[in-house]
Amino acid sequence: MSDIFTILFPILVGFCVVSALITYGLGTYVFARNPSSAVNRLFLAVALSATYWAIGEFFIWYSAGYDGCLFWLKASSFWPLVIALTAHFTLAFTGHPLAQQKKHGVLLASLYLPALSFSLIGLSTDLIYTVAFQPGTGYVYLPASANPVYVAGRAYAAFAMLWAVYAGISSWRRARPGRVRRQNRLVSIGIATVVVFGALSGLVLPAFGIYTVNLVFIGIVVFSLLIAYAVHRYGLFTLSPQAAVPEILRTMPDGLVLTDMDGRVITANASAAEVFGVAEADLPGQPVGRFIPDTAYASIRAAVTEQGRFSDLEAVPDGKKDCVLSIAGAPVSDPDGEPAGIVLIIRDITGRKAAETALRTANQKLSLLSQLTCHDIGNDITALSWYLNLLSEDGMHPDGDVYLSRSVEAVEKIKKHLQFSHEYQMIGVYQPVWQPLEAMIVRAVSSIPHPGIEIAASIAPVEIHADPLSPKAVYNLLENALRHGGNVTTISITTVERTDGTLVVAFEDDGAGVDDGEKEKIFNYHYGKNTGFGLAFSRDILSVTEIAIRETGTAGRGARFEILIPPRAWRPVGGGEPGPDPTDSRGQETAEEG
């Protein structure tokens, strides 16, 4: 058998040259097609390292003496890195979870560090290969078969390549019929061919005492030809999700999810993982129905079937009831026109929906305000006109001072209506913000005079998501207790979280309280002893972010106003901005009971 390999020697050495030329050309061609693709860059690294290995092998066998053979043997010592890069490329090409950026530490420890270690050992010692003279051939390199380091190196190479073959075949079998499946099949066959020829040179032939040119380069040539065919016939490295999508996924602020026709996630970006509240590495292989309600996913399937594409489908993800998503999508087909999956673009529109709710609420309130203001100012102008007419008819009338005083009062009422109208227009003008609740209450307490009245506050360290005018609502509650509570001596402000996640902020006093028949009426405009704006105004401010307010005290024992903050509108202190000072230039004329 050794005579046969002696005859074939020139051909085998020729495969080294052919392998070097093909791998270098194919690698640069693939890289040029999509330089931003991580898979293409990895393939270039594999091709260049294989070229380096083939050139070293060629010169080993064409060296005339011992020194030349030893030099090129040492120069080729980094061939284990070809094994590591090939395994890494296969994992990345097949979309294996370990190929993701977060798992690079695992690949470094399991592939690259062992490869580098064996390379350095081969470069500096004779523990892996030695140079010897073989009659009829000349100087050759022989494996140090009895050395544990050589055995460990062979075990590492076998492990890495078999891992690559397994990943390729698994991806091939898992892929749906179509272009991707054909690509995976060709890549898997190519890698398996390299493994077979490598095993012949590394295990089978040495067992028979035959040491010749490494046959792995025949496998590399076959592999390269299969890759070239896949590039030409099936668009390998250009249109596959593994090659084209990753860079887009990394740069998109919106979530992007690619699913197969069975609804299982093929790939997704970090933004999608953030929206769903899971690790990016946990998304591939999961049913998309795990993150999107069944009704929403059924609507997606129906829209894709009936319309071909859809946009702005709103859904609330499972486990995140306070989040609203806008989903757009379209079907994905392979080059043969066969349905291959669905691509979904997911945007978190929770903030936008909150703003829409705030705007809608503000518009409704402004409409009510316009009606109230027109009616009230009209009445006051009628009264003012009547008193002024009386004065004009008889300037010396004995009740002239009374008429003049009533006229001034009417003007003051008109002024208050206009001032309230100005403040009311500010509701919903600005986006709701996160505000520290304790700071808001402390500011309101310090800004309102309360001689002889104790105000005690025990507030949890939380922030609330509310209109920037919300400190005025707190001020109004305190002012209402001081003005209308009767013989109030203490006011307590406390917080408690209910089992449903609602945060209750309670304002309690020891005054006269509110009769049962008035508990809702006091929140109506024009109800009460003064202008009838304060509590109604407070309720409208808080309702912008769906915060409710109610009175639950007992008449005769004191009033108790509860602000009910839903779970999505409060959180532990984390940096929200405080709202405006309730004593700002817009005044406190609105802080009066309804």
Residues 123-134 have pLDDT tens digits of 999 999 998 887
Overall average pLDDT of the 18-38 stretch:
89
* Domain finish residue from 322, 348, 374: 348
Percent of the chain beyond pLDDT 90?
28
The answer to the question of residue 247 being in a domain is: no
Nearest-10 crossing angle of helices 38-61, 216-234: 150
The answer to the question of residue 451 being in a domain is: yes
> Does residue 527 sit in the same domain as residue 584?
yes
In this structure, which long-range contacts are made by residues 139-148, counting pairs with CB atoms below 8 Å and at least 24 apart in sequence? 139/63, 139/65, 139/66, 139/68, 139/69, 140/61, 140/69, 140/211, 140/212, 141/60, 141/69, 141/73, 141/211, 142/211, 143/202, 143/206, 145/206
Overall average pLDDT of the 191-211 stretch:
86
Q: What CATH number has the domain bearing residue 35?
A: 1.20.1070.10
Domain assignment of residue 362, given as a range? 351-425
* Cβ proximity of 491 and 529 under 8 Å: no
> Does residue 306 sit in the same domain as residue 343?
yes
> Does residue 328 sit in the same domain as residue 407?
no
Cβ neighbors of 288 (< 8 A, separation 6 or more) are 257, 259, 263, 264, 265, 297, 344
**578: burial class by Cβ within 10 Å (0-12, 13-18, 19+)?**
middle
Statement: residue 5 has pLDDT above 60: no
Mean pLDDT (the chain) is: 81
Overall average pLDDT of the 291-296 stretch:
78
Instruction: Please give the tally of structural domains in the chain.
Output: 4
> Does residue 382 sit in the same domain as residue 515?
no
Give the distance from CA 272 to its chain's centroid.
Answer: 5
Q: What CATH number has the domain bearing residue 324?
A: 3.30.450.20
DSSP per-residue letters across 551-572? E--BTTTB-EEEEEE-GGGEEE
pLDDT at position 319 is 64
Per the listing, tokens 């009374």 go with 402
Q: Which residue has the higher pLDDT, 387 or 327?
A: 327
Statement: residue 582 has pLDDT above 50: no
> Does residue 229 sit in the same domain as residue 298?
no
> Does residue 474 sit in the same domain as residue 368?
no
Per the listing, tokens 């946009």 go with 311
The answer to the question of residue 406 being in a domain is: yes
What are the structure tokens assigned to 512, written together?
């006269």
Cα radius of gyration (the chain): 40
- Using the CB atoms, write b or e for 316-345: b if 16+ within 10 Å: ebeebeebbbbbbbbebebeeeeebbbbbb
- Choose among 472, 445, 446, 434: nearest CA to 565: 434
> Does residue 328 sit in the same domain as residue 396?
no
Lowest-pLDDT range of 20-34, 192-206, 332-346, 506-520: 332-346
Phi, psi of 508 (to 5 degrees): -120, 140
The answer to the question of residue 313 being in a domain is: yes
> Does residue 57 sit in the same domain as residue 197?
yes
User: Taking the model in full, what pTM does it have?
Assistant: 0.47
Q: Which residue has the higher pLDDT, 423 or 385?
A: 385
* Domain finish residue from 209, 242, 275: 242
Overall average pLDDT of the 404-423 stretch:
71
**133: burial class by Cβ within 10 Å (0-12, 13-18, 19+)?**
exposed
pLDDT at position 551 is 93
Statement: residue 594 has pLDDT above 50: no
Q: Which residue has the higher pLDDT, 356 or 1?
A: 356
Q: For 245-276, what is each residue's pLDDT tens digit? A: 556 667 778 888 888 888 888 888 888 888 88
> Does residue 339 sit in the same domain as residue 448?
no
Q: What CATH number has the domain bearing residue 455?
A: 3.30.565.10
Distance CA 76, CA 127 (A): 15
Distance CA 374, CA 368 (A): 10
Statement: residue 526 has pLDDT above 70: no
Per DSSP (E only), the strands in 335-431 are 339-348
Q: For 44-95, what is each residue's pLDDT tens digit? A: 999 999 999 999 999 988 887 899 999 999 999 999 999 999 999 999 888 8
Q: What confidence tier does 395 reach under pLDDT thresholds 50, 70, 90?
A: low
The answer to the question of residue 497 being in a domain is: yes
* Domain finish residue from 370, 403, 425: 425
What are the structure tokens assigned to 193, written together?
């061919």
Q: What confidence tier does 362 reach under pLDDT thresholds 50, 70, 90?
A: low
In this structure, which long-range contacts are made by residues 384-388, counting pairs with CB atoms below 8 Å and at least 24 apart in sequence? 384/410, 384/411, 384/414
The answer to the question of residue 500 being in a domain is: yes
Distance CA 212, CA 51 (A): 19
Distance CA 119, CA 123 (A): 6
Statement: residue 515 has pLDDT above 80: yes
Statement: residue 593 has pLDDT above 50: no
> Does residue 43 sit in the same domain as residue 192?
yes
Per the listing, tokens 């860079």 go with 247
pLDDT at position 220 is 92
pLDDT at position 590 is 33
- Choose among 459, 460, 432, 434: nearest CA to 575: 434
The answer to the question of residue 124 being in a domain is: yes
Q: What confidence tier does 382 reach under pLDDT thresholds 50, 70, 90?
A: confident
Distance CA 432, CA 533 (A): 22
Cβ neighbors of 260 (< 8 A, separation 6 or more) are 176, 266, 340, 341
Statement: residue 285 has pLDDT above 70: yes
pLDDT at position 424 is 59
pLDDT at position 181 is 85
Per the listing, tokens 């490329």 go with 89
Q: Which residue has the higher pLDDT, 583 or 520?
A: 520
What are the structure tokens assigned to 73, written together?
């043997």
| β-strand partners of 548 | 564
What are the structure tokens assigned to 259, written together?
């699913």
> Does residue 484 sit in the same domain as residue 552?
yes
Distance CA 540, CA 108 (A): 59
Lowest-pLDDT range of 136-140, 205-209, 221-225, 413-417: 413-417
The answer to the question of residue 156 being in a domain is: yes
Lowest-pLDDT range of 34-43, 344-353, 386-395, 477-486: 386-395
How far lies 393's CA from each of 140, 389, 390, 406, in Å? Answer: 131, 6, 5, 16
> Does residue 23 sit in the same domain as residue 88?
yes
